Amino acid sequence: MTDRLGFGAASIGNLYREVSDEDAHAVLEEAWSGGIRSYDTAPHYGLGLSERRLGTFLRKQARDTYRLSTKVGRLIVPNTGRRHGTDEANGFVVPDDHVRHWDPSPAGVRRSLEASLERLGIDRVDTLFLHDPDVYGLDEGLRLGLPALAGLREAGLVDEIGIGVNSVEAAVRAVREGDLDVVMIAGRYTLLEQPAAEELLPLCQERGVRVLAVAVFNSGLLASDNPAAAHYNYGAVPPELVERTERLREVCARFDISLPAAAIQYPLRHPAVDQVVVGTARTSSLRANLQHMKTEIPDELWETLRDEQLIP
């Protein structure tokens, strides 16, 4: 099932903690050896560090053997203002000598793609996402960004265009208002919560839009042995979600299935979901994810979760 598993490269951009070049390379080697051939990154991840590290690795592989996506909307520009030393306020342990500048205009989108290709050292990406327009201004982002992406696709500079967001509402609007090929939805269709199931997934299925489910562990919560100390939506875990996570774990244990194995496979049960995309900078976690994808999960587990009203 590795064709249904993608590698998300936020972690190798020093998400939450510093990662060495050697460790970043090692986890990418592990992913490649495990059969993963789909890779996603963004300028946002470590102010370009993720793209540089991923490009260094992928340049050694034949270009027609993998698929690569990155994102536009946030330009990475020199920081001419106050500095605090690192970009940890935005979640990345990298120097804050650059900052993000929101620009969904056609010129900004093209400039962002060109800068990404330069950082990657690769001549093309397969898929280009408009990244988090709801964070900066959804109306403007969709009005300017979606036509700009369509123009790049029409010009043959990318094969697919889409939107990458945490917000179901933003994704629904983008599918309705744009001509998208793919939606990347983070954390909103997982074993823990399924708000994307009500409108977004049926809409994508109706329109032939591929769905990539990312953050399927809800920022690590469903993969942690200690939910209270984990992250949720890149922040602290609400107590009610700690309790729900433990209920999910208990049901999985009845069937001798680990919670992360159920979590990584659950989104793929929906016909609209084409892939799950997970990221880590630890080779041990990458190996575990590959094993979770191979785990045989009985239908009775899903039926029990439904009976106990833990999934729809």
Nearest to 61 by CA among 39, 83, 43, 79: 39
Give the C-alpha separation, 139 to 174, whole Å: 10
**Tokens, residue 244:** 């729900």
Query: What is the per-residue DSSP string for 233-283?
Result: TTBPPPHHHHHHHHHHHHHHHHTT--HHHHHHHGGGGSTTEEEEEE--S-H
Known catalytic residue at 234: no
Residues 105/77, Cβ–Cβ less than 8 Å: no
Q: Are 38 and 4 in contact (CB under 8 A)?
A: no
**Sequence letter at residue 42:** A
Q: Are 276 and 184 in contact (CB under 8 A)?
A: no
Residue type, 56: T
* Bridge partners, 117 (sequence order): none
Identify the sign of the CA torsion 255, 245, 195, 148.
negative
Q: For the chain, what is the largest distance between any 2 Cα atoms, rounded to a whole number of angstroms?
A: 58
- The residues that bridge with 183 in the sheet, in sequence order, are 163, 211
Find out whether 6 and 212 touch, Cβ atoms under 8 Å: yes
The catalytically annotated residue of 16, 39, 45, 189 is 45
Report CA 240 to chain centroid distance, whole Å.
Answer: 25
Distance CA(110)–CA(128), nearest Å, equals 11
Show the tokens assigned to 214. 């990312």
List residues with catalytic annotation.
45
